[in-house]
Amino acid sequence: MSVGEYLDGTFLFEFNPEKKTYSRTDEVIKDKLIRFGVVGHGVRTYFNALTGVFTFDQNKIEILYRTKDRDYILMGQDVKYNDIIYFKNAYSQMNYSGKSSTNFCGYNFGYKNQILYNDGTMLYFKPILNIPVDQPANFQIRLVSNKDMDGQIIIKVNDFKEYKLNAPLDKNVGGELTWFIRV
């Protein structure tokens, strides 16, 4: 279930068991949000809405884009990381008698934003953490640039491990990759 944490120490849970009510993601007060994520089934993972940095299984995960000339820091910039994305994966089954059932099989959350750098580069960035049932968790990372770029997506775990993935970008064409989390 999703949960948003606010600056004043309050929370907005997707389901409130005391009131037996559901909240929608569009009810999140974005300007007061400090964390957004998923809890339940032994999972507690979130991103910090002030920095964009994800925490997964108590591990800090950061993403940047590196060219031969510079690093384009995608998290920790002076932008808000509060344009949240949250959805669930589900499947339905129907038998010949017409009876059907629907089951959830995964949770997804993240955000989207755009960052303008002092060299005129604009990067549109959308990281989504996918937590499927009985499968490894993964990031779906989408990046669009306002110019052609030849670089790598760098994924840093706990400021210690770095995973480098070649990711050349064509101007105004979205690139997307899936990274299975290794912490």
**HSE of 119 in the Cβ direction (CA atoms, 13 Å)?**
10
- The DSSP output letter for 25 is G
Which pairing describes strands 15-16 and 100-111: parallel, antiparallel, or unpaired? unpaired
Q: How far apart are the first and last CA of the chain?
A: 23
pLDDT at residue 94, rounded to an integer: 85
Q: Look up the pTM and report it.
A: 0.89
Boundaries of every domain in the chain: 2-180
Give the separation between CA 107 and CA 97, rounded to whole angstroms.
30
pLDDT at 27 over 90: no
pLDDT tens for each residue of 104-151? 889 999 999 999 999 999 999 999 999 998 889 999 999 999 999 999
Please count the other Cβ atoms lying within 10 Å of the Cβ belonging to residue 88.
15
pLDDT at residue number 164: 96
**Which of the four pLDDT bands, split at 50, 70 and 90, describes residue 163?**
very high
Q: Over the stretch 74-112, which tens digit does the pLDDT of each residue have?
A: 999 988 899 999 999 988 888 888 888 888 889 999 999
